[in-house]
């Protein structure tokens, strides 16, 4: 087994995630209060965004930044399109659009874990990769809404559902003003404005304690994933597992190829691969639930949270890094 994968699996934060899975499996009453879990999530987003802004202040705006952000935006449009085409062979138009949006978007928690992992490898991605996270969140939702509206016009609908197209303006507003995205982008800007001075001022808060809070947060995620697994329809588990495990490395491979063609650094390529391989289980499901009410929420939410998220945390992140390091 690859040494990088072994070290990743033995990382305390990852082990706490597995411990959360175990606690849920044995139906323990262990739980993290929702308010505390929410605080940890907001803290991690603020810390990652702020450090990314400080890094950007140190390096300035470069051609590498333009290439990386351009690649991120391109992937955010391409991945949901080909995912939809593949998914339509097994799912109806609305479920296919919703799942495509979920996998075309990104997971902030996976991004946070990837940043923590790569710091331990002594590789530093550009601070602008935090902006890539924000850029990749919304295009997939936009594409899914367009596809769902097309399905409604062509008659692929449930009679019980509303016949009007969903307002694109409202959906985009909800996607762009999501609290997590705003906090990440705001923290990035504050880090950019304050630079090294801001880093020194917040160093105890955004430095040493981040790893411990990440471990606590992944414990809560393990508990959540374990509980959600019991709710999955047994008849759907085969397809959920297949797509949820195959899509991440395929999307990561596409990101790696694009990164290589553009000459991105190892750190930037790694983060781009992780973002492409991740699936949104917070922002996109919340938006899609209103934008595509015809879709089965349990399907796309379970695929992202119960299958793809654990895969990326335990195997995907070290796997993508090892593969990139071997050829970069």
Query: Using one digit for the tens of pLDDT, what is the confidence trace for 168-188?
Result: 566 666 656 667 667 877 888
pLDDT at 312 over 90: yes
Q: Looking at per-residue confidence, does 16 or 233 come out higher?
A: 16
- How far apart, in Å, are the Cα atoms of 319 and each of 2, 313, 326? 9, 10, 11
Q: Computed over its alpha carbons, how large is the radius of gyration of the chain?
A: 19
Average pLDDT, rounded, for the chain? 82
214 domain residue, yes or no: yes
pLDDT tens digits, 66-107: 999 999 999 999 999 999 999 988 888 888 998 999 999 898
Burial of 134 (0-12, 13-18, 19+ CB in 10 A): buried
pLDDT at 226 over 70: yes
Which CATH number fits the domain that encloses residue 318? Answer: 1.20.1530.20
28 domain residue, yes or no: no
4 domain residue, yes or no: no
The pLDDT score that the predictor gives to residue 72 is 93
Residue 292 CA neighbour count, 13 Å, CB half: 32
Q: Which domain holds residue 157?
A: 33-327
The pLDDT score that the predictor gives to residue 174 is 62
Total domain count, the chain? 1
Q: Looking at per-residue confidence, does 225 or 22 come out higher?
A: 22
Q: How far apart are CA 94 and CA 149, in angstroms?
A: 9
74 domain residue, yes or no: yes
pLDDT tens digits, 115-172: 889 988 889 888 788 888 878 877 887 888 788 877 777 764 444 444 455 555 666 6
Band of residue 254 on the pLDDT scale cut at 50, 70, 90 = very high
Between CA 220 and CA 185, with CA 298 as vertex, the angle to 5 degrees is: 55
7 domain residue, yes or no: no
71 domain residue, yes or no: yes
Lowest mean pLDDT among 209-218, 242-251, 285-294: 285-294
26 domain residue, yes or no: no
pLDDT at 14 over 70: yes
Band of residue 257 on the pLDDT scale cut at 50, 70, 90 = very high
16 domain residue, yes or no: no
The pLDDT score that the predictor gives to residue 177 is 66
């Amino acid at each position: 087994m690859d040494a990088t994968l072994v070290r990743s699996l033995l990382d305390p934060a990852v082990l706490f995630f597995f411990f959360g899975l175990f606690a849920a499996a044995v139906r323990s009453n262990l739980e993290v209060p929702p308010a505390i879990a929410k605080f940890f999530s907001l803290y991690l987003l603020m810390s990652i965004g702020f450090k990314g802004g400080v890094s950007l202040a140190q390096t300035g705006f470069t051609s590498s930044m333009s290439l990386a952000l351009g690649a991120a935006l391109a992937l955010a449009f391409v991945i949901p399109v080909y995912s939809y085409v593949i998914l339509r062979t097994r799912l109806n138009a609305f479920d296919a659009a919703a799942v495509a949006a979920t996998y075309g978007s990104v997971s902030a928690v996976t991004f946070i874990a990837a940043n923590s992992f790569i710091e331990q490898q002594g590789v530093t991605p550009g601070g602008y990769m935090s902006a890539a996270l924000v850029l990749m969140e919304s295009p997939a939702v936009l594409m899914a809404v367009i596809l769902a509206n097309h399905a409604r016009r062509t008659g692929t609908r449930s009679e019980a559902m509303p016949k009007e197209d969903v307002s694109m303006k409202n959906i985009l507003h909800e996607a762009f003003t999501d609290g997590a995205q705003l906090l990440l982008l705001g923290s990035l800007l504050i880090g950019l404005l304050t630079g090294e001075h801001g880093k020194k001022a917040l160093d105890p808060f955004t430095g040493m304690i981040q790893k411990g809070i990440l471990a606590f947060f992944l414990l809560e995620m393990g508990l959540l994933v374990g509980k959600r697994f019991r709710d999955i329809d047994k008849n759907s588990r085969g397809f959920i597992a297949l797509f949820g495990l195959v899509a991440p490395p395929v999307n990561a491979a596409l990101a790696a190829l694009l990164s290589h063609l553009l000459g991105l650094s190892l750190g930037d390529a790694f983060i781009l691969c992780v973002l492409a391989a991740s699936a949104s289980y917070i922002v996109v499901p919340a938006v899609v639930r209103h934008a595509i009410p015809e879709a089965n929420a349990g399907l796309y939410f379970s695929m992202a949270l119960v299958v793809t998220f654990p895969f990326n945390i335990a195997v995907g992140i070290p796997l993508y890094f090892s593969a990139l390091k071997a050829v970069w």
